[in-house]
Structure 1
């Protein structure tokens, strides 16, 4: 049970780091964007009448990614624990 809780905490930390990094990259791209207004006037036929900002994702996608991360971390922690236990008994891996 202890390994499962460690796996959940590690998955939560990994997922949080991923979301913060994704937000930071988007924020930095928005700060660095400089529109080219002079050339925009020359190609007015390419302009769209609607703008789309971002996209929508199913909440089940985030839940499944989190559970997949937790399962992956759980497998790594179990394998690590078995390797440590085997090396203490001199069996090797």
Structure 2
């Protein structure tokens, strides 16, 4: 696992689905996203795509994206409803 790619706390929220939560490790945040997405009535193909995007083996890729760009964004479609999945670095001030 490439956790050292982004060894900082992160914030995660899925608009309209979860409240913002802070995680000490990116891999824990990704697991929370997978758990939340599994509870949504996503179409099979979309669920498979999102599962791949947030799979444990994607931690290196997402960590690199956080380090280079400062955020990870994806969209979960539930029917016509759009839920933005947002992962970003947590501020050191406790956010």
TM-score of the pair, normalised by structure 2: 0.31
More RCO (CA 8 Å, sep 6+): 1
User: Between Structure 1 and Structure 2, whose CA radius of gyration is higher?
Assistant: 1
**Larger helix proportion, structure 1 or 2?**
1
